[in-house]
Structure 1
């Protein structure tokens, strides 16, 4: 059984390509996440953003899906994921929006 995950491609107000993820990213859906990342990279003319602000959990399989694209993406994330992104070495490409 797959963990709930919604992946929505789109563009930000400046026209840059964004892939928005909502839910949890784990071994059960990491192949779907990896395919969406590949599709988004193919559609982007340059770097693209992966919005993880609505992701509640990401495991090593989800992180592994990000690494082939690390030179072409930036991550937008919530503070909940900050420790795992830092340990994985992805903090240098991650932006954490201000808490309100």
Structure 2
């Protein structure tokens, strides 16, 4: 069974690409998540403030992009991002960025 996940692409007010994920990210939807990340180029803000669950499949999708992303996450995900090492590779933050529709 596929876990619900909504992915919305857009841009911040400064023009930086923004990908907002809402729901759960796991092996059932990691391919869609990977495709959404691959569909952007350059710097990217990855907004995970609406993500309640992120497993190793989701983490493995983020790692190849870690050098170009700024992760915005809710406090629930902070331990996972810290233990995985993503905190050291990207710039995690705890607040939501301003969103402009694409």
Q: TM-score, normalised by structure 1?
A: 0.89
User: Superposition pairs for residues 1-100 of structure 1, below 5 Å?
Assistant: 1-41=1-41, 46-92=42-88, 93-97=91-95
Aligned to 2:99: none
Shift of 1:47: 1.1
Q: CA RMSD in A?
A: 1.2
Shift of 1:97: 1.9
Relative contact order higher in (CA < 8 Å, ≥ 6 apart): 2
Structure 1: stretches of 5+ with no match in the other structure: none
Q: What per-residue deviation string (whole Å, max 9, x for no partner) do you get for residues 3-23 of structure 1? A: 000000000111110000000
Q: TM-score, normalised by structure 2?
A: 0.87
Q: What per-residue deviation string (whole Å, max 9, x for no partner) do you get for residues 2-45 of structure 1? A: 1000000000111110000000000100011001000023xxxx
Q: What is the number of equivalent residue pairs in this alignment? A: 94
